Structure 1
Amino acid sequence: MKDFIKVLKRFLPPYKGDTIMMFVYNLLGAIFGVFSLGAVIPVLDTFFNKSVDVAVYEKLPWELNTKAIMHNFNYYITFIKDEYSAEYALFFIAAIVLILVFLKVLFAFLASYHSVNIRNGVVRDMRQIIYNKMISLPLPFFSAEKKGDIIARSTGDVQEVENSVMSSIDMIFKNPILILVYLIGLLVISPQLTLFVFIMLPIAGYIIGLTGKKLKKSSREGQNKMGDILSTIEESLSGLRIIKAFNAEEKMNIRFASESNSYRRIMNSMMRRYVLAHPVSEFMGTLVMLIIMCYGGMLILNGTGNLDGSTFVVYLGMFFSIIAPAKAFSKAAYTIQKGLAAMDRIDQLLDAKSTITDKENAKEVKEFENSIAYHNITFSYNGEKKVLRNVDLEIPKGKTVALVGQSGSGKTTFVDLLPRFYDVNEGSIQVDGLDIRDYKMKDLRNLMGNVNQESILFNDTIFNNIAFGVEDATMEDVVAAAKIANAHDFISASENGYQTNIGDRGSKLSGGQRQRLSIARAVLKNPPIMILDEATSALDTESERLVQDALDKLMENRTSLVIAHRLSTVKNADLICVFHEGEIVERGKHDELIEKDGAYKKLYDMQLL
């Protein structure tokens, strides 16, 4: 219960108004529910031929207490009987009961109306918090986590919290109120019998609670396994071409079946315990009801409990009204355990620490003035083998530096350190003489544009993809950027021009078209520093020519770091650095490196062959 209260404290404050109104309406609904049952007593008295006993001929002053209300109610019943007939009195009581029941259900509806606002609002806030956290986490976090598991926490676990914790808000703001108000009504009718109820209910509640133990643990295991299943699905969809190419469908089917069967076993264990809640609570409720009937009947027969038949029937009606919220209370205890397990998994994501953050007094930077300098850079992923070792490089403003070498030699890691996708382990990177960790990260990244080997586009229009990250971009700006990137012609020829949707990751476009949109996006951002990572390596000859022409325009008057496998594309670079096993083993211009007849010459000759 403490964990449940903590969840509510975290997410309910923005909905204080709705919470207060829900509480008030539930209270009013419960009060009118008690009165609607109490109003039936005169009807039962009539059936039991006790009309003479309850006849009242003097009215008391109106007060907010049971005695005055019931006395005056009987006074008006007596008046109607004497003036008209007992039948008219029955119709009058029926009308009163109908009005009271109408008010009861009206307030119950209004309480539920505000409950819906709270439930959907909290779930929306939770999703937004998770998404904001997910976007803010640095890249190293995602290299250690499965995408499918993160998706499961953002979707399935939130859904579980909605279905269990949020749907159990009634447990706090409705059921306790109903139980308390009806218990007060029972105390007013028969304190002696109600004290017996106070003894029986905790015993029944304890027995019901025994069946819910370990539900939270089983639920967490099930949700963890669902994360594994989603990871398998995500990997299968991403690698479908390879699965089919290697005839590995059966292997993947077996792998998925294993995960699915494991999930089934966990969920069977959990759900069997969960479905036990209803029959146990049903049986215990019936048992308590029968015990109270027997005990109350003995009080009436012995004449020791100040009870009569009609009052006892209403008493049983009130007690029966307690059973429904009490059962809901016990059921909610089960569902809350499932939701809290999901909340634990969500908190693992929300509590993840960002290792790459701004310093407390980070400086702003709006312009790139002089140079970029790497000083004795050493870096490794998660403390494993060093990817870069003691790398030094200075890049003056306006120069183009090409990074070449074998795959895995550290080129991409080298450029990823500049925008602080990762932080160096040793050494420093300086921009205009100041360590990049002393700048505000947003300002630092605003100085840079990226064009990667894999064009990262979004399932949106061409216009929105080019204008991505640029506020208040006009159509004229976007068209101008597209023309520089040699993209305007194919965009104009598409069905809806710049408003054409490009599909998931730009699936409706060719590789060259996607790359040119990426270049247009970088052109529109207009950064002073460009990072190009294998921007033409996956293209055919014609697309490469168009893209390379666009890249040449993009790099004009900019400081550029270019990773290239095709050495022909970087012949004119101001400086070429050859990487090998995390170190720069050669540097110089194209002609100088050819004359050295070293590692660069070897790579160049291999490509000529």
Structure 2
Amino acid sequence: MKTYFRLLSFAKPIEKFAIPYVIATLFAIVFNTFLFTLLGPLMQALFLDKATINVTPSEKSSALNLFGQFNDYVATIIAHDKIYALQVICGVIIITVFLSNLFRYFSQRFMEDLRVHTLLNMRKTVFDNVMNLHVGYFNNERKGDIISKVASDVQVVQFTVTNTLQVVFKEPLQLIFFVAVLIGISFKLTIFSLLVIPVSGFIISKIVKRLKQQATQSHESFAKMIGFLDESLSGIKIIKAFNASERVKNKFGEENKFYSFLNRKMARRQQLASPVSQTLGVLVVVFILLYGGTMILNGKGDLSADQFVVYLATFSQVMQPIKALTDSFSGIHSGISAGERVLELIDTKPELTNKPNAENLNMFNKSLVFESVAFNYGDKQVLKHINLDIEKGQTVALVGPSGGGKSTLMDLIPRFHDPKSGTIKIDGRDYRDLTVESIRSQMGTVNQESFLFNDSIFNNIAFGKPEASEEEVIAAAKIANAHEFILNTEDGYQTFVGDRGNRLSGGQRQRVCIARAVLANPPIMLLDEATSALDTESEKLVQDALNKLMQNRTSIVIAHRLSTIQHADKIVVIDKGAVIETGTHQQLMSQNGLYKRLIDMQTFND
């Protein structure tokens, strides 16, 4: 129940929807119950003689018994004119049905508003929390699992939670009204008849006992399929190139079979609950029919024929709210299971948060300094005792063998992670004393993987500065050597680049990314092997764009081709997580160390 109430908190402000829902539902139930009591007067008007109908003052219903008062009124009319009485009853039936359905419509409408409102809040909370999580979280979690929680699990939760809320209020209330009518007709018969409810509840609880465990497995299996689908679409060229289509299809098919098998088992259990309760209900109705009918035919007991018809009709409807409650009880397990997965994601706290009273960094004036910085991925130490000064306006290149820690060091600069020990300072201020957003606002990034959003070229360039004018975007594109190829595309700057920018070549994507960084105009540029995946011609265009980008800026560059960073103000050689050499190109070449060996190896390979 704790999980359920937490999920229900996403419906706030719930009173905005709950109060009108309660009022509309109450009226719908009253008119729906009244409809079945009209069967008694209808039977009197059609089948009983006037002589048999005589309402004496002592038999009249109390002022609080509205149903009884109406029956007394109809009985009085029938005693004088049965046709007029029939017309009155038919008119009341039409009005009652209309009002019952009108209020039921409003009731469902208010509940649907609550359902949509809950889904809106829940999905927004989940997505917002995902966007707030640190970068390292996404290296450890399957993307498909996150997508499944945001898309599928949230949908299951909102439907189950609001549906249960609807059933828990409406159906017991409707049941109470029906039972009140039944007790008013025959107390003894009602007490015996309602024994079906606890018996039915016990049997159904046994049937749905394992539903939650199966629901959890089902949600996890669906998440695996979503993740596998995402991987397959992203790697479709590799799959085709290695003739692995059949193998991939078989792998997906196996998971799909397992998911379908689980859902089939769950559906069978859920579907068994309703027939069981309905069968028990019918057995009781048959017993009532046999018992009450025998009494009427023998002229014994206190039930009249018209009362018995009302009793049977009303009791047949008692099973509807019981059936709805059992269906809801069997379905809630799936919702709670999905809810626990969603809450697990919501409860995941970002490792990086702004400390209270963190200050904003408004501009970069002097230097960026690493003081004895160390960093671990789990138990593995990736960086150790990094000391590094980067002065404003300098171009600093990070070089070294793969796996040495260059990219990790680069990730610390925009504060994707905090160091395990040591401090990073910008203009003499500790990173931890500043807001993450203000630090990143001073930096622009061009990565090795040139990621573009499935949007227009214009919007991709303006991503870091959404309010940019067309002239500013074009100017940035020209600096990035992208303007000419953009004009040659189908719709110019309004051309859509496709998923991850796959409608553009590698060099074109990279130049659009550079234009994006140019437009943002940050004082610090972070370039992570921005030309490593390009052909020679594209590399020249991109390198020229990068040279323009780095002018009058502080630049930190991870270089794949060492020939591109020979003019850097400072070259930092990193190996096995430590800085082993620092200096200009000439200084490092004269030291005859690792840098010179790397240069010689690359010269030889070229």
TM-score range, shorter chain: over 0.9
CA contact under 8 A between 1:465 and 1:517: conserved in structure 2?
yes
CA distance in 2, matches of 1:534, 1:2: 50
Residue 508 of structure 1, aligned match among 484, 503, 508: 503
**SS class of match (1:536):** coil
Per-residue Cα deviation, 1:311-345 (whole angstroms, up to 9, x for no partner): 12111211222211210110111111111111111
Residue 135 of structure 1, aligned match among 118, 122, 131: 131
Number of the residue aligned with 1:75:
73
Q: Kindly indicate whether residue 396 of structure 2 is the aligned counterpart of residue 397 of structure 1.
A: no
Q: Could you tell me which amino acid in structure 2 is paired with residue 7 of structure 1?
A: L
Number of the residue aligned with 1:388:
383
CA distance in 1, matches of 2:313, 2:368: 81
Q: Kindly indicate whether residue 294 of structure 2 is the aligned counterpart of residue 292 of structure 1.
A: no
In structure 2, the CA distance between the partners of 1:392 and 1:145, relative to structure 1 (3 Å rule), is same
Q: Kindly indicate whether residue 554 of structure 2 is the aligned counterpart of residue 556 of structure 1.
A: no
CA distance in 1, matches of 2:299, 2:7: 50
Per-residue Cα deviation, 1:173-219 (whole angstroms, up to 9, x for no partner): 32122112222222222223222234332222222222111101111
Following superposition, the deviation at residue 294 of structure 1 comes to: 3.9
Q: Kindly indicate whether residue 335 of structure 2 is the aligned counterpart of residue 339 of structure 1.
A: yes
Q: Could you tell me which amino acid in structure 2 is paired with residue 484 of structure 1?
A: I
CA contact under 8 A between 1:485 and 1:547: conserved in structure 2?
yes
CA contact under 8 A between 2:3 and 2:339: conserved in structure 1?
no
Number of the residue aligned with 1:183:
179
In structure 2, the CA distance between the partners of 1:395 and 1:311, relative to structure 1 (3 Å rule), is same
Alignment of 1:520-539 (within 5 A): 520-539=515-534
CA distance in 2, matches of 1:471, 1:565: 32
Per-residue Cα deviation, 1:238-288 (whole angstroms, up to 9, x for no partner): 223333333333443443343333334433332322221222122122123
Q: Kindly indicate whether residue 210 of structure 2 is the aligned counterpart of residue 214 of structure 1.
A: yes
Q: Could you tell me which amino acid in structure 2 is paired with residue 4 of structure 1?
A: Y
CA distance in 2, matches of 1:263, 1:177: 38
CA contact under 8 A between 2:460 and 2:512: conserved in structure 1?
yes
Residue 494 of structure 2, aligned match among 499, 502, 514: 499
CA distance in 2, matches of 1:262, 1:101: 47
**SS class of match (1:364):** coil
Alignment of 1:186-197 (within 5 A): 186-197=182-193
Per-residue Cα deviation, 1:428-487 (whole angstroms, up to 9, x for no partner): 111111221111111111111100011111111112111113242222222222122122
Q: Kindly indicate whether residue 32 of structure 2 is the aligned counterpart of residue 30 of structure 1.
A: no
Q: Could you tell me which amino acid in structure 1 is paired with residue 335 of structure 2?
A: G
CA distance in 2, matches of 1:180, 1:600: 85
Number of the residue aligned with 1:166:
162
Number of the residue aligned with 2:106:
110
Q: Could you tell me which amino acid in structure 1 is paired with residue 225 of structure 2?
A: I
Following superposition, the deviation at residue 518 of structure 1 comes to: 0.8
CA contact under 8 A between 2:398 and 2:571: conserved in structure 1?
yes
CA distance in 1, matches of 2:131, 2:181: 54
Q: Kindly indicate whether residue 4 of structure 2 is the aligned counterpart of residue 4 of structure 1.
A: yes
CA contact under 8 A between 2:50 and 2:78: conserved in structure 1?
no
Per-residue Cα deviation, 1:566-598 (whole angstroms, up to 9, x for no partner): 111111110011111111221111122222222
The number of aligned residues is 604
In structure 2, the CA distance between the partners of 1:174 and 1:75, relative to structure 1 (3 Å rule), is closer
In structure 2, the CA distance between the partners of 1:267 and 1:70, relative to structure 1 (3 Å rule), is closer
In structure 2, the CA distance between the partners of 1:43 and 1:565, relative to structure 1 (3 Å rule), is same
Q: Kindly indicate whether residue 561 of structure 2 is the aligned counterpart of residue 566 of structure 1.
A: yes
Q: Could you tell me which amino acid in structure 1 is paired with residue 363 of structure 2?
A: E
Identity across aligned pairs (percent)?
43
Q: Which range is displaced more, 218-227 or 594-603? A: 594-603
Q: Kindly indicate whether residue 232 of structure 2 is the aligned counterpart of residue 236 of structure 1.
A: yes
Q: Which range is displaced more, 197-206 or 531-540? A: 197-206
In structure 2, the CA distance between the partners of 1:130 and 1:407, relative to structure 1 (3 Å rule), is same
Deviating 4+ runs (over 6 angstroms)? 57-63, 301-304
CA distance in 2, matches of 1:297, 1:480: 92
Cα RMSD of the aligned pairs, angstroms, is: 2.3
Alignment of 1:314-333 (within 5 A): 314-333=310-329
CA distance in 2, matches of 1:200, 1:243: 59
**SS class of match (1:468):** helix
CA distance in 2, matches of 1:173, 1:491: 60
CA distance in 2, matches of 1:291, 1:23: 35
CA distance in 1, matches of 2:239, 2:381: 32
In structure 2, the CA distance between the partners of 1:302 and 1:438, relative to structure 1 (3 Å rule), is farther
In structure 2, the CA distance between the partners of 1:60 and 1:523, relative to structure 1 (3 Å rule), is farther
CA distance in 2, matches of 1:322, 1:221: 35
Following superposition, the deviation at residue 32 of structure 1 comes to: 0.7
Q: Could you tell me which amino acid in structure 2 is paired with residue 524 of structure 1?
A: L
CA contact under 8 A between 2:196 and 2:280: conserved in structure 1?
no
**SS class of match (2:556):** strand
Q: Kindly indicate whether residue 305 of structure 2 is the aligned counterpart of residue 309 of structure 1.
A: yes
What is the TM-score normalised by the length of structure 1? 0.94
In structure 2, the CA distance between the partners of 1:30 and 1:52, relative to structure 1 (3 Å rule), is farther
Q: Which range is displaced more, 526-535 or 283-292? A: 283-292
CA distance in 2, matches of 1:313, 1:461: 70
CA distance in 2, matches of 1:71, 1:543: 91
Following superposition, the deviation at residue 70 of structure 1 comes to: 3.2
CA distance in 1, matches of 2:111, 2:67: 32
Q: Which range is displaced more, 46-55 or 442-451? A: 46-55
**SS class of match (1:392):** strand
CA contact under 8 A between 2:145 and 2:220: conserved in structure 1?
yes
CA contact under 8 A between 1:456 and 1:505: conserved in structure 2?
yes
Number of the residue aligned with 2:87:
91
CA distance in 1, matches of 2:192, 2:237: 70
CA distance in 2, matches of 1:318, 1:229: 48
Number of the residue aligned with 2:263:
267
In structure 2, the CA distance between the partners of 1:51 and 1:420, relative to structure 1 (3 Å rule), is farther
Q: Could you tell me which amino acid in structure 1 is paired with residue 34 of structure 2?
A: F
Q: Kindly indicate whether residue 277 of structure 2 is the aligned counterpart of residue 278 of structure 1.
A: no
Q: Which range is displaced more, 183-192 or 552-561? A: 183-192
CA distance in 2, matches of 1:163, 1:71: 41
CA contact under 8 A between 2:383 and 2:405: conserved in structure 1?
yes
CA distance in 1, matches of 2:376, 2:595: 25
Following superposition, the deviation at residue 359 of structure 1 comes to: 0.9
**SS class of match (1:449):** strand
Residue 518 of structure 1, aligned match among 513, 524, 531: 513
CA distance in 1, matches of 2:169, 2:544: 66
Q: Could you tell me which amino acid in structure 1 is paired with residue 37 of structure 2?
A: G
In structure 2, the CA distance between the partners of 1:299 and 1:374, relative to structure 1 (3 Å rule), is farther
Alignment of 1:243-254 (within 5 A): 243-254=239-250
CA contact under 8 A between 2:455 and 2:496: conserved in structure 1?
yes
CA contact under 8 A between 1:368 and 1:431: conserved in structure 2?
yes
**SS class of match (1:402):** strand
CA distance in 1, matches of 2:39, 2:51: 17
In structure 2, the CA distance between the partners of 1:200 and 1:256, relative to structure 1 (3 Å rule), is closer
Number of the residue aligned with 1:368:
364
Q: Kindly indicate whether residue 460 of structure 2 is the aligned counterpart of residue 465 of structure 1.
A: yes
Q: Which range is displaced more, 151-160 or 563-572? A: 151-160
CA contact under 8 A between 1:48 and 1:310: conserved in structure 2?
no
In structure 2, the CA distance between the partners of 1:311 and 1:512, relative to structure 1 (3 Å rule), is same
CA contact under 8 A between 2:405 and 2:577: conserved in structure 1?
yes
CA contact under 8 A between 2:60 and 2:72: conserved in structure 1?
no
- Unaligned residue ranges in structure 1 (runs of 5+): none
Number of the residue aligned with 1:351:
347
CA distance in 2, matches of 1:303, 1:11: 59
CA distance in 1, matches of 2:23, 2:98: 17
